[in-house]
Chains A and B, each alone.
Chain A
Amino acid sequence: EVQLAESGGGLEQPGTSLRLSCAASGFNFGNFAMSWVRQAPGKGLEWISSSSGSGAGTYYANSVKGRFTVSRDNSKNILYLQLSSLRAEDTAVYYCAKTLAPGTPRPTFFDSWGQGTLVTVSS
């Protein structure tokens, strides 16, 4: 059974940094592109970043480009998201998600999701 578990969220001040983790199990992690999707309170889903299976390919939404960095440790089956220069508008639940098909260099659709971790940015 595929399992994804995010951690690392919390209450942070504007301008600070934070690292989120997503521990994966139940599938060959290194064979799948992975993504981060966030959801601000009461709002819709926003894709923010993806990583190819190897980690060599990374992709970012314009809203986080230059501030967030996605990475992965395939030996530990963990996906990371480093958040920097945090803003109030980064307040959201952050989900990690697995892409549907193995071996694709870019994610396609997201067939498994974690339960999310809440990041609150406030002074």
Chain B
Amino acid sequence: EILLTQSPATLSLSPGERATLSCRASRSIATYLAWYQQKPGQAPRLLIYDASNRAAGVPARFSGSGSGADFTLTISSLEPEDFAVYYCQHRSNWLFGGGTRVEIK
């Protein structure tokens, strides 16, 4: 079973800073990876699919990269509404990583 490990668990940054989140698969998954954002009390929101494609309505400051086993979600300049928990997900077994919380420093 392919597992996803996200790091760091928590990222403390200030608005305007760049955020770099990592998701590592236990073996190669090509580009079969998505990123979701979840704010407190809300359902998750799809941000990125197939590793690098932005979902509809997602701002350009969100970008995804990677292939094989190592993936990155980058938020180029944090807006106040970006402080949330981010999950990666594998397309083939639908399992999620443990999440990274992006909090205000």
Task: Pick the residue among B46, B94, B96 that contacts A111 (CB under 8 A).
Answer: B46
Which A residue sits closest to B97, measured CB to CB? A44
Q: Determine whether A27 belongs to the interface, using a CB cutoff of 8 Å to chain B.
A: no
Q: How many residues belonging to B are interface residues under a CB distance threshold of 8 Å?
A: 22
Q: In the complex where A44-B99, A47-B96 touch, is A109 in contact with B43 (Cβ < 8 A)?
A: no
Contacts of B98 in A (CB 8 A): 44
Q: How far is the CA of A116 from the CA of B98 in the complex (A)?
A: 20
From 103 to 123 in chain A, residues with beta carbon under 8 angstroms from any chain B beta carbon are 107-111, 113-116
Chain B min CB distance to A52 (Å): 13
Residues from chain B with Cβ under 8 Å of A110 in the complex? 34, 36, 44, 46, 89
Cβ-based interface call for B18 (8 A): no
- How many Å from the CB of A49 to the closest CB on chain B? 9
Does B83 belong to the interface (CB within 8 Å)?
A: no
- Interface members, chain A 3-57 (any B CB < 8 Å): 35, 37, 44-47, 50
Of chain A, the residue at the smallest CB distance from B44 is A113
Q: How many residues of A sit at the interface, in one of the four size bands? A: 10 to 19
B45 contact set on A, CB distance < 8 A: 113
Closest residue of chain B to A106 (Cβ to Cβ) is B92
Interchain CB contact under 8 A, B55 and A111: yes
B96 to chain A, nearest CB (A): 4
Residues of B within 8 A of A (CB): 34, 36, 38, 42-46, 49-50, 55-56, 87, 89, 91, 93-99
Q: A45-B44, A109-B89, A113-B43 are in contact. List 7 more A-B contacts (CB 8 A).
A: A59-B94, A100-B46, A100-B55, A109-B50, A109-B91, A111-B55, A111-B56
